[in-house]
Structure 1
Amino acid sequence: MMRSATRFGSDGDVLDIRGKQVWFRVVRIYAKRSYCSPQNSALKRTMNGDRKHFRKVAGKYDYLPADYSKLIGEQEKHEKAKKKPMPPSQLVECVQRLMKMICDIRAMEELVMELEYDATKAPLGKVTEEQVKAGYAALKRIENFIKKKEFSKEFVNAVNEYYTKIPHYFGMRQPPLIKTQEQIKVEISLLEALSDIEVAIRTLNVGENDLTINTLDRHYANMKCALDVVEAKDSRFEMVDKYLQTTHAPTHSHYRMRICNLFAVNKEGEKEKFIGNIGNRMLLWHGSRLTNWYGILSQGLRIAPPEAPMTGYMFGKGVYFADMSSKSANYCFPQKSKPGLLILAEVALGNQEKLLNADYNADRLPAGKHSVMGLGAMGPDPNGNLTLEDGCVVPYGQPIALEANKAQGCTLNYNEYVVYNTNQIRIRYLVEVDFIFDF
């Protein structure tokens, strides 16, 4: 299928109409020339006549392969499912609610549409890992032009290539040229979301024809991540709640958080791969949007691929954690009407490289170092630390000014902890919170 997502718009496409593939083009009714042949139109617009040996020509449309194999028999499958009653779920009620929340495809679509992704041209169910990586590679090329401040024809071609790989919808507006680091960061957010959603949808589809199991139970089983409810009277609940409330940063005072549900997490394979023997293990916060969590719980926290630009990763490509709950909660994008999800992970920090300023190449750790700590001006009082029976440290002391860090000229408000090996991470708790706004 040939389709365009360049800055110059699109005037032809293959549409799916009642299960049939139809070439569609708007033309003047008195036009003498026939436009009924998609092959002729595609040849004109791409300068390619054979998709098997397709080569992109500058200034011409690109070929975006679409996989329709999953559509075969899909309608019959849905009709069959409708006729058979759904078996009841075996999950406890709060886990059922959680699964509905993190498996919500419509919410995923709404998120990417907010980021101006065109889900009609490239439906989420058709997004592939290769497509996302191609988007990262195109964005990295744009970043190189921005760094050199070269906004030439080649730069415009690079932007067009990105919009082709990752279709956007701007309505009647002309697609903007991506000329700033801030714009790059927004596009990275989109690609990160698409990456997690791609994993989520691929995992959700496993065993979809098995009608003997409740859909939520199947999604839960596919996740390969056990979630056990921690009751409010449990000492672990009290510990997590204290950590949440005590380390809410003073600069994030426009909202408060309240725990709705707490789940102890046992992600399949994490315990066995965890390299806790490097020492300096801490229980730290990590937050993300609701739509990312099924992908995260299915595959674990992941590091940006080599294709991704460096922009947006203050200390290089790694997994970022905080000792202040609200610092991580801000990455949930708090709203009155929606709960948020954070995790508490046991992180093996080992020998830390401590930095005062951003360093995009910090992932190139010096010999003997295992992680990076970005030093903040405020953090939990170390005298208030709790050491658990297994030796993991919970930094839930009252926030204090860290004068030693300030004296050295630190530029961060709060500490950042970054690891570059996911085997240094073991997820221990999933925390569902309500956001309470006082205005």
Structure 2
Amino acid sequence: MNATYLLMVTPEGNHNKFYRMLPNFPDDSHFTVEWGRVGATAIKKIYSMAAWDKIYKDKITKGYVDQSDLHDCVVTVLSESNYAPIADQLVAELVDALLAYSDNAIKKNYIVSSKDVTQAMIDLAREKIDQLYSVTSLSEVNAILSQLFTIIPRKMEKVEDYLAHTEMDAAEIITREEALLDIMTGKVNQKTRHNIRNDNISNTILDENNLTIRPCTMDEIRHIKKFLGKESEHKLKNAFYVKNIVTEACFYDYCSKNQISDKDIHYLYHGSRNENWWNILIQGLSLRPKKSVVRTGAMFGHGLYFAPRAKKSIGYTSLNGSYWSGGTSLTGFLAVYKVAYKNPFNVYRHTPAYKLFTKENVHRLGADAIFASKDQGMLVNDEVVVYDDKQATIRYLIELA
């Protein structure tokens, strides 16, 4: 017999329970069961192996789901101490902070750490989130959410609080679940090296993740402050030059294939919450799901959103007082991206049809981006939306305070 992991998540009765069946090795005549509410201390009991099948069938009949396959082949992520130290103190402190933000988000929302999560769990969770875009009724949304919560066990005092009760709830929940899974994915996919002694390590965590990060030069900081403007430059605490070798290569490949010249590369802002940045740095900004979908609540459809004005994007950071994300942190992060486009479709007045924008129908307009203008009162600030994640790569990360 193999170790078996069962999980039940249902709003009826507020169930968020696990049941684990563990053969006793080398004594194969008995097995141990552990059960309880997810996140709570397990109750344990030993049974004769003869009772295995009966207990298993009884739990499945009661509504437990067998998730044993997802818990095999656990990805072991080496601790950050198993990398060579980062020489620059400011960069080392930045990386430590970003890793801590992502770790804290995982601890707050999951009962497992990234080292206990398998790629199979990530893939199945991603599949469930993608399915949320193809259903219309709240009952279907909540059925998929209940399945999602059994894949990577979650901390939920009351399951009902995590389900959708309105269409707006559903849109916000999809965004929430995508963000959480992206954070977990970033940690699970973090490049690791095995069977190497600490005193024989030559690569830093940046090397392993194809990243170059250094403090900005004084000239770069002056340039950054100039474009932050008087309204935002006082928030700048530190600024870092960032290059992701993989996304940079994809970006310039896109530019080459689409005849994008230097004048068509625009420097724009993107804000996100602190816990998202480590994954964004190592994975790049990604359209979720990869296929084009209609996104409820996305004003200009399924794209990546940027702003020419820093103040607009600061509103999406974790910085205290940030408007859109309700930030409460003393620190936030804002990025400057290189964004490639040369034929934007200019929008001055919004219509519901614009929520249906995807890469395909934007291209049918003869465009490679949307430029949403504030000039006629549709928006307070201009926005730029692109529909291919190869159109953007990070250049600077600005620490705000």
- Normalising by structure 2, what TM-score? 0.75
Instruction: Show structure 1 runs of 5+ residues with no match.
Output: 27-32, 48-58, 249-255, 377-401, 435-439
Once the 2 structures are TM-superposed, how far is the Cα of residue 322 of structure 1 from its aligned partner?
0.6
Change (3 A) 1:287 1:157: closer
What is the distance in 2 between the residues matched to 1:4 and 1:161? 9
What is the distance in 2 between the residues matched to 1:156 and 1:321? 31
| Partner residue, 2:63 | 60
Are 1:268 and 2:260 matched, yes or no? no
Q: Is the 8 A contact 2:269 2:334 kept in 1?
A: yes
Change (3 A) 1:216 1:420: farther
**Alpha-carbon deviations, 1:173-202, whole Å to 9, x = none?**
644541323322332333232333233213
Instruction: Show structure 2 runs of 5+ residues with no match.
Output: 37-46, 321-327
Are 1:365 and 2:362 matched, yes or no? yes
Are 1:281 and 2:265 matched, yes or no? yes
For residues 2-401 of structure 1, what are the structure 2 equivalents within 5 Å? 2-8=6-12, 9-10=15-16, 12-14=18-20, 22-25=32-35, 37=51, 39-47=53-61, 60-64=63-67, 65-70=69-74, 89-104=85-100, 107-112=101-106, 117=109, 119-120=110-111, 122-125=112-115, 126=117, 128=119, 129-141=122-134, 143-146=135-138, 157-165=143-151, 167-172=153-158, 174-175=160-161, 177-204=163-190, 206-207=192-193, 209-212=195-198, 218-231=204-217, 234-246=218-230, 248=232, 257-273=234-250, 274=252, 275-276=254-255, 277-278=259-260, 280-306=264-290, 310-335=295-320, 337-355=329-347, 356-357=349-350, 359-363=354-358, 364-367=361-364, 368-376=366-374
**Alpha-carbon deviations, 1:86-106, whole Å to 9, x = none?**
8972421000101101122xx
**Alpha-carbon deviations, 1:68-124, whole Å to 9, x = none?**
43489x9xx99xx99xxx8972421000101101122xx33543566xx3x12x544
What is the distance in 2 between the residues matched to 1:42 and 1:259? 58
What is the distance in 1 between the residues matched to 2:102 and 2:21? 23
Change (3 A) 1:262 1:176: closer
What is the distance in 2 between the residues matched to 1:237 and 1:18? 61
What is the distance in 2 between the residues matched to 1:328 and 1:19? 56
Change (3 A) 1:354 1:258: same
What is the distance in 1 between the residues matched to 2:48 and 2:245? 58
Q: Is the 8 A contact 2:305 2:384 kept in 1?
A: yes
What letter is aligned with 2:150? T
Q: Is the 8 A contact 2:307 2:384 kept in 1?
A: yes
**Alpha-carbon deviations, 1:311-350, whole Å to 9, x = none?**
2432222211011212212222213654222211111121
Q: Is the 8 A contact 1:124 1:197 kept in 2?
A: no
**Alpha-carbon deviations, 1:376-417, whole Å to 9, x = none?**
2xxxxxxxxxxxxxxxxxxxxxxxxx3xx23xxx2x221111
Once the 2 structures are TM-superposed, how far is the Cα of residue 240 of structure 1 from its aligned partner?
0.6
Once the 2 structures are TM-superposed, how far is the Cα of residue 165 of structure 1 from its aligned partner?
4.1
Once the 2 structures are TM-superposed, how far is the Cα of residue 419 of structure 1 from its aligned partner?
0.8
Change (3 A) 1:265 1:60: same
What SS is found at the alignment partner of 2:314?
helix
| Partner residue, 2:44 | none
**Alpha-carbon deviations, 1:273-318, whole Å to 9, x = none?**
3234335321100111222222211121111114777224322222
What SS is found at the alignment partner of 2:362?
coil
| Partner residue, 1:384 | none
Higher relative contact order (CA 8 A, sep 6+): 1
Once the 2 structures are TM-superposed, how far is the Cα of residue 362 of structure 1 from its aligned partner?
0.9
Once the 2 structures are TM-superposed, how far is the Cα of residue 37 of structure 1 from its aligned partner?
4.5
* Coordinate RMSD, CA, aligned: 3.8
What is the distance in 1 between the residues matched to 2:143 and 2:84? 53
What is the distance in 2 between the residues matched to 1:362 and 1:178? 25
What is the distance in 2 between the residues matched to 1:189 and 1:322? 20
| Partner residue, 2:43 | none
What is the distance in 2 between the residues matched to 1:292 and 1:161? 24
What SS is found at the alignment partner of 1:60?
coil
Q: Is the 8 A contact 1:285 1:343 kept in 2?
A: yes
| Partner residue, 2:325 | none
Q: Say which of 421, 426, 436 aligns to 2:393.
A: 426
What SS is found at the alignment partner of 1:302?
coil
Corresponding residue pairs, total = 357
What SS is found at the alignment partner of 1:243?
helix
Q: 213-222 or 338-347, which moves further after superposition?
A: 213-222
Percent sequence identity is: 19
What is the distance in 1 between the residues matched to 2:162 and 2:273? 26
What SS is found at the alignment partner of 1:3?
strand
Q: Is the 8 A contact 2:107 2:113 kept in 1?
A: no
